[in-house]
Amino acid sequence: MALKKKKLVIGNWKMNIFTTKEAEKLVAGIKKESLKTKNTDIVVAPPFVYLASLKGLVSKKVSLGAQNIFEETAGSYTGEVSAQHLTQFKVSYVIIGHSERRARGESDASISKKIVRALEHKITPVLCIGESVHDDHGEYLDFIKSQLASGLSGVSKMQISDVVIAYEPIWAIGAKEAMNSNQVHEMSLYIQKCIKEMYGAMVMMPRILYGGAVNADNAREIVDRGYVDGLLVGRESLKVENFVGIIKNVDLIK
């Protein structure tokens, strides 16, 4: 029998937190307040400039993530950061294909290459997928299927369980309310169906996360009743009490 994976909560700081002192204080606070969690893996994904300062704060409780990588390992790519750069900073996860980057022109081909690079350097890629419109005709399902197929095109059956899928419907990011748990469950099942079609019925499933308007009040409901493996959190990860509130409520789920 395969071991049950822990839940996973990732805090994506985006382009926020503007001093090293503030970044260190936030991570230290999350570590301190999460000491009693048992069933949840915690990841913080700060801007690149803080990785060197924060690597000394990572632990079995709190891992370090990055918000992006470049699709090549090395070369004449001014301003880019590769997966190889990140290994020295104890980076365990990297967010790839976030809707905010896709909106700025990041292509499916580039996202696929980035996932391959992350796996090559033993960094867990977090593939973000999500539709902009949840239409009544189900066209968004084909869109999600296409994002999965292209993003995972370089991932083998043996590697798929080393990937994390983060479903973030674009219309729910920054919204007043999250997707309801029944809708989350439907999408979780659909993502699993797509992966089985790609890799076979006996494939070992990756962890599937939800993101979009998550807070301490709805976190447990979304994960428990939405049957997902955790959450990708944005603005609520910027304050210790808010992020830890989410973590603790997810950790209560058996």
Distances from the Cα of 238 to the Cαs of 27, 151, 175, 194, 215, in angstroms? 10, 28, 17, 33, 12
Give me the percent of the chain exceeding a pLDDT of 70. 98
- Average pLDDT (109-121) is 98
Report pLDDT for 3: 54
Which amino acid does the sequence have at 89?
F
Report pLDDT for 1: 35
| Annotated catalytic residue, options 98, 106, 131, 236 | 98
- Distance from C-alpha of 9 to C-alpha of 124, rounded to nearest angstrom: 14
The answer to whether 139 is a known catalytic residue is no
Q: Which tens digit of pLDDT belongs to each residue from 167-220?
A: 999 887 777 778 899 999 999 999 999 999 999 999 999 999 999 999 999 999
Report CA 110 to chain centroid distance, whole Å.
18
The answer to whether 137 is a known catalytic residue is no
Q: Which tens digit of pLDDT belongs to each residue from 134-143?
A: 777 778 999 9
Please name which of 84, 40, 39 lies closest in space to residue 66, comparing C-alpha atoms.
84
- Distance from C-alpha of 191 to C-alpha of 208, rounded to nearest angstrom: 8
Helix (H, G, I), strand (E, B) or coil at 208: strand
> Of 113-122, 161-170, 177-186, 237-246, which range is least confident?
177-186
| Annotated catalytic residue, options 71, 106, 131, 168 | 168
Report pLDDT for 4: 66
- Distance from C-alpha of 155 to C-alpha of 184, rounded to nearest angstrom: 25
Helices (H), the chain: 20-33, 51-54, 83-87, 99-102, 108-120, 139-151, 181-199, 219-226, 240-251
Mean of the per-residue pLDDT values of the chain? 95
